[in-house]
A and B are shown apart, each in its own frame.
Chain A
């Protein structure tokens, strides 16, 4: 028998969808509007 969406089902669905959407928007915001005052982190293997 098919159960309608339960409270736990709502929780898992909304947490997954909102989490993924928020991460995607945050990433694109950082890509499209990079913070200007942030210098490159030190790193790299030299010349």
Chain B
């Protein structure tokens, strides 16, 4: 066994804020409101809260109890702990995913964090060069997209290093902060940061919220009020509830937002004492995350965006976190009085939300290396730093089209999380035994998990999770698999100004016909050619280089006919990037599996209870 002094949390509030800090991230402010607006508005909250009750909170409780019990057996890593709960090597090797997920997500998350820091710095020093204008679509959209593409190096692989873009300085600062606080340890590092960062985020969020709720659009712009913005997000559309995608989206939002199955809670809870309350702590951390998501995320970003840049640009930005945060909201700040102050405050919130999350991503790997290799905290911090930097450098270099980032985010940050959560809830309810699991969770607890939840944990959560996991993969995985196989599907796009003109030319609810004509390049065959959004497939050629295909779109409602130009950017380089990313991920997985095997041999030689056959110590 290592001679490391056992780490512990400084206080009960500290561990709650650390877990909540890990869960509160960019998705709370940017992904949630877009998801809700796209999937039924207020009606989205029905499957959302249902998923919170039957997936988020129960699996969270199970994960807290699993982690604390593992800690009492002397394990702090997912492979060690799940080996006990699953009673053997299958759980131990499934637990490798519990180390891979935080480490893999760290590879790209710290980059997004450095973008937040860079935007914050730009707003502190005068903004990103946007002037207020009444023609947002033609003037500000190209500027913000161009600025963002430069910051992330989307134009070409290695673009950031070729230009030595100043965002690299923000990246270095971000990495140093992360490594330093993780090196300081749980209590002096992570807990201290979260104790300050979480209240600061809450206060800044409330200040911005008050400002947003008292906004009015400048004359000559959108003419939308705050109440219109809130209506866009919250008016219920019950028809969406009959669509399975809405349920998948709601459960996915809860799932990714609460960080269950991420490998962090299990590690954090392993440092708790036997008499610490995991039931109330788990509920409080979940509730805190929900406060940031529903109250602050649900009222600030989309509302302000609708008021200042309108519904069209807002709806285009709500597909993911990045577009709304880094492209659309800068336009809002440019129009808003005191925009630089609010821009700085907003990106500071995002940076704090991100750093409290990224700190939690390093700690599980650090604990795993110490435990499996028997090394001290200096060596484990060095190892996790170097491994993290290699991953960061990979994602930083392969920046074109953000394919590497997107590939890791989908497979590691979405699919694998569901797998780990499924393993945990099945281990808790079925392998370890529900009664034993609940008894463990109740140790030191002020609150008793209601009987209803015990039934949910045993039957409903695993079944619901597996159905949603299959639905999520069916909805999303084919596109990613196709890319890996070298098949690229592309849709022609209108410019934002053309979209605005199209919306203005035809009254809402008009029955429109669409006719697409290719204007140049090698001929392509459009699928769904008479729809507003046709697509065509391209097979990855040898020596692939991206190219553009120009189109002309004619729209008619029978009386009026309008013609627009459009273009399709065919990204035939993405399959190569996706495959390189997978090779890198497989090497990472192989390394973690090898370390797990070394650890298992060590633990066995030390006479430790690998397979959970002995009772836990106090």
Contacts and interface: CB of A to CB of B under 8 A. Distances in A.
B41 A41 contact: no
Interface string A1-35: 11111101111110111001101100110111011
Given A21-B295, A31-B12, A43-B443, A4 B234 contact: no
Contacts, number: 123
Given A2-B232, A43-B441, 19 more contacts: A2-B306, A2-B311, A4-B231, A5-B227, A8-B42, A8-B236, A9-B230, A9-B231, A12-B41, A13-B298, A16-B42, A16-B49, A16-B294, A20-B294, A21-B291, A27-B284, A31-B12, A44-B443, A45-B436
Interface string B594-618: 0000000000000000000001111
B236 A46 contact: no
Interface hub of B42, B224, B439, B441 (most chain A Cβ within 10 A): B42
B615 A2 contact: no
Interface of B: 12-13, 16, 41-43, 45, 49, 69, 224-225, 227-228, 230-232, 234-236, 274-275, 280-281, 283-284, 287-288, 290-291, 294-295, 298-299, 306, 311, 436, 438-448, 508, 615-618
Given A38-B446, A45-B443, A20 B290 contact: yes
A38 B228 CA distance: 48
B540 to A, nearest CB: 41
B445 A17 contact: no
Contact of A13 (B49, B69, B230, B446): B230
B298 A31 contact: no
Given A5-B227, A5-B230, A17 B283 contact: no
Contacts of B12: 31
B228 A4 contact: yes
A35 B618 CA distance: 24
B440 A8 contact: no
B305 to A, nearest CB: 12
A6 B446 contact: no
Contacts of B299: 17
A31 to B, nearest CB: 6
Contacts of A5: 227-228, 230-231, 234-235
Contact of B291 (A6, A24, A41): A24
Contacts of B443: 40, 43-45
B284 A44 contact: no
A12 B283 CA distance: 22
Given A2-B306, A9-B236, A31-B280, A41 B448 contact: yes
A38 B45 CA distance: 35
A45 B440 contact: yes
Nearest to A34: B446
A23 B287 contact: yes
A35 B41 CA distance: 39
B37 to A, nearest CB: 11
Q: Which of A2, A8, A10, A34 has the most chain B CB atoms closer than 10 A to its own CB?
A: A2
Contacts of A2: 224, 228, 231-232, 306, 311
Contacts of B228: 2-5
Contacts of A8: 42, 235-236
